[in-house]
């Protein structure tokens, strides 16, 4: 997974085209089996992503919304994320704008998988996560664990 911040949509579309015809996309063509490119918009209640030593384990959760699930989810996150971030920080939370919509992705960094299990259990026990009514907004969830490549600005 490669996540990049882009301010200019037209320039982004031109760069996407260049990547599609490149023999060595992102300079890592030998590592790529398959490639999809989607555009997401970060929630306004989440700070912009920044490089740093937060991992090395990154939990990536991707959900597919119910048809009316976007607005309630945004509201619940604005209200509940500050409580959840007292347990552990979030890297990002984003809504899909292209590809299969509507999807929601959030990424949490952890020092170990044991830390992940402990902090998630703590958030549930303290009733700070998940937000009440949050899971009902989704029809499907996928959970993946990523570790940064050697060239990643996230560690």
pLDDT along the chain (155 residues), means of 10: 87 90 93 90 94 97 95 97 97 92 95 98 96 96 96 93
Cα→Cα distances 6→1, 76, 82, 102, 149, Å = 16, 26, 26, 20, 21
The answer for residues whose C-beta is within 8 angstroms of residue 43's C-beta and 6 or more apart is 74, 77, 78, 93, 94, 95
Domains with residue ranges and CATH for the chain: 1-36 (no CATH), 38-146 (3.30.70.100)
Angle at 106 between CA 121 and CA 34, to 5 degrees: 120
For residue 65, give the H/E element and its range. strand 57-65
- In whole angstroms, give the CA distance from residue 35 to residue 60: 17
Half-sphere CA count of 57, side-chain side, radius 13 A: 12
Q: What is the pLDDT of residue 119?
A: 98
Which residues, including other chains, have CB under 8 Å from residue 63's CB and lie 6 or more apart?
103, 104, 105, 137, 138, 140, 141, 142
Which pLDDT score, from 0 to 100, does residue 145 have?
98
Inter-residue contact 103 to 95 (CB < 8 Å): yes
Amino acid 24: pLDDT:
94
Strands 57-65, 92-96: pairing kind = unpaired
Helix (H) or strand (E) holding 14: helix 9-21
């Amino acid at each position: 997974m490669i996540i990049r911040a882009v301010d200019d949509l037209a320039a982004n579309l031109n760069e996407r085209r260049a990547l599609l015809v490149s023999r060595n996309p992102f300079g890592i063509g030998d590592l790529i089996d398959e490639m999809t490119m989607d555009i997401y918009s970060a929630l306004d209640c989440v700070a912009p992503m920044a490089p740093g030593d937060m991992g090395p384990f990154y939990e990536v959760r991707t959900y597919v919304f119910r048809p009316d699930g976007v607005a309630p989810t945004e509201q619940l996150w604005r209200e509940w994320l500050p409580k959840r971030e007292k347990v552990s920080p979030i890297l990002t939370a984003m809504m899909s704008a292209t590809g299969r919509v509507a999807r929601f992705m959030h990424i949490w960094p952890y020092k170990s998988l044991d830390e992940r299990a402990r902090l998630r259990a703590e958030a549930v026990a303290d009733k700070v996560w998940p937000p009440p009514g949050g899971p009902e907004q989704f029809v499907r969830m996928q959970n993946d664990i990523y570790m940064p490549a050697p060239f990643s600005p996230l560690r």
